[in-house]
Amino acid sequence: MTEEKEGPGVVLNSEGQEVQQEVTQNSPTSSTKSPPQPWKGEGWTPEAQRLFRDLPFRVKQAIWACEPDSKVKETLRQWEARRDLSELVVNLLADMNASDEAFDLIWKKYPWLDAGDFPDSGPLGVWDAGNDDALPSPRGWLLGNTFARKFLSSLLADGGVGKTALRYAQALALATGRPLTGEHVFQRCRVLIISLEDDAEELRRRIHAAMFHHKVDRSEVKGWLFLSAPGGKAGKLLTTDRGGKAVRGMLAEYIEDEILGGMIDLVIIDPFVKSHSVEENLNSVIDDVAQILTDLAATYDLAVDAPHHTSKGIAEPGNADRGRGASAMKDAARLVYTLTPMSAAEAQMFGINPDDRKQYVRLDSGKVNITKYLPAAKWFRLVGVMLGNDTDLYPHGDEVQTVEPWQPPNIMAGVTDDDFQKVAEVIRAGKFRKSPQANDWVGRAVAEALDLDLDDKRDRGKVGILVKAWLRAGTLVEVEYEDDQYKKRKFVEVAEKD
């Protein structure tokens, strides 16, 4: 039983009970025990405090896991000048009587600690590349190419498409260590979801729906998945004072305290637009908001995600420029994806009932600066989950949305080289246009050769995919000729070998 206190935020424990927390700027709080922070106490020289703050967050986590005693203070007090960082860590661990396993853990995760002198603590932190003889550590991927330590990510979508349902399912995948969304889980992670749009009850409904559908027991997420629905009481990342000047709000401080207390690996702040109260179309201030998030990611070696709404207009898969407001948010994020409902043409291609197509959504790379661009979309199906929370007043209870991975049918399955040769023979015998609206569309040649019916939606969709696939492969080529009215038109021919 947790004692309730008044405070700016609501954190939910694994049983779904609300835990109100009293939060102050200098007192980290969490639903888990906070690690000691002796460097904030008295008796530490400024140099000793700075040295400890300069240690990477995960190294400090490993150090605290060794249950340090008061000798840490004495060790740090001796460090009045900057030295080799690896020597500092060795001395700290030695004075704490750390186990060999602790040494191995730190050196395996941070091989660069043994790479010689670390950058001086000057304003620019300049180092000589000629002395940098160790390989940098690999990027800290967490889930597929979606989340990575030290980077800000975002998911762009119109309202009601399913971006929150997808993000919560991905968070659940990381918290359980299971690939619930069909994406590779690099490591199980502690996840903090901060919902700035839904209240605590609605957040609980969404998480319960995802857990029910994916058969996740509460014991699997205990200590791994943390929820918060602070409303307006927690403030903003950035706001404006009475004079209209942008000032840092308290929300970042509260998030930082939860990160420290819960050893968090991923923070999801949903949605981005609710995290600030500055002019959303002004690049300079939106860049400041994004900087707060990227600083959190870099300082604490974690991933930060901020799903974002799109501006009005036609949904275009992979278009990162459709993010609402200033482009600074998109520019600051390194992993940006778009979520788009299945189009009518795609439904026709895949044989999906037009009335059901909005139950299927595609995830596309919009901007991925730290890995290769992923040309193929990932597909998900939106499913409704009955929570079983019926009452006399509401006998049907709630049906809440979540997602599951969905694989579109492989249209190219069973298509052989002999089939292409049949198509090529028909194309060579005539003159066919590229446009599907043309009477002499090249798809008619494909349908004739392969005995497909263009009046059948599924067959027509297959023909369209085959034409695109062969054009992409270069076995068919696009050419430009004048038609009978001397207008230039695009035609399709067979690529002849030299």
How high is the pLDDT of residue 122?
60
Along the chain (498 residues), what's the average pLDDT of each consecutive run of 10 residues? Answer: 40 46 34 39 47 54 47 40 48 54 57 46 70 78 94 93 96 97 95 96 97 97 95 92 90 89 90 93 93 91 93 79 84 91 83 90 79 72 96 96 92 83 93 91 94 87 86 89 82 84
- Please write down the HEC assignment for all residues of the chain: CCCCCCCCEEEECCCCCEEEECCECCECCCCCCCCCCHHHCCCCCHHHHHHHHHCCHHHHHHHHHCCCCCHHHHHHHCCCCCCCHHHHHHHHHHHCCCCHHHHHHHHHHCHHHHCCCCCCCCCCCCCCHHHCCCCCCCCCEEECCCEECCCEEEEEECCCCCHHHHHHHHHHHHHHCCCCCCCCECCCCCEEEEECCCCHHHHHHHHHHHHHHCCCCHHHHCCCEEEECCHHHHCCCEEECCCCCEEECCHHHHHHHHHHHHCCCEEEEECHHHHECCCCCCHHHHHHHHHHHHHHHHHCCCEEECCEEECCCCCCCCCHHHECCCCHHHHHCCEEEEEEECCHHHHHHHCCCHHHHHHEEEEEEEEECCCCCCCCCEEEEEEEEECCCCCCCCCCCCEEEEEEECCCCCCCCCCCHHHHHHHHHHHHCCCEECCCCCCCEHHHHHHHHHCCCCCCHHHHHHHHHHHHHHHHHCCEEEEEEECCCCCEEEEEEECCCC
Pairing of strands 225-228, 303-305: unpaired
Paired strand residues for 380: 361, 405
d(CA 19, CA 248): 26
Task: For residue 450, count other CB atoms closer than 10 A to its CB.
Answer: 17
According to the model, what pLDDT value does residue 316 have?
80
Amino acid at 277: S
* CA-to-CA dists, residue 1 to 15, 17, 349, 351, angstroms: 11, 10, 55, 53
492: left (phi over 0), alpha (psi -120 to 50) or beta: beta
pTM comes to: 0.71
162 Rama sector, left if φ>0, alpha if ψ -120 to 50, beta otherwise: left
What pLDDT sits at residue 87? 57
Distance CA 215, CA 222 (A): 15
The per-residue pLDDT for 306 is 96
Q: What is the C-alpha separation between 82 and 416, in angstroms, rounded? A: 67
Residues contacting residue 287 through CB under 8 Å, at least 6 positions apart: 326, 328, 331, 332
Strand pairing of 335-341 and 360-368?
A: antiparallel
The per-residue pLDDT for 378 is 92
CATH superfamily of 141-405: P-loop containing nucleotide triphosphate hydrolases (3.40.50.300)
Tell me, what's the pLDDT at 404? Answer: 97
Domain ranges of the chain: 35-131, 141-405, 417-494
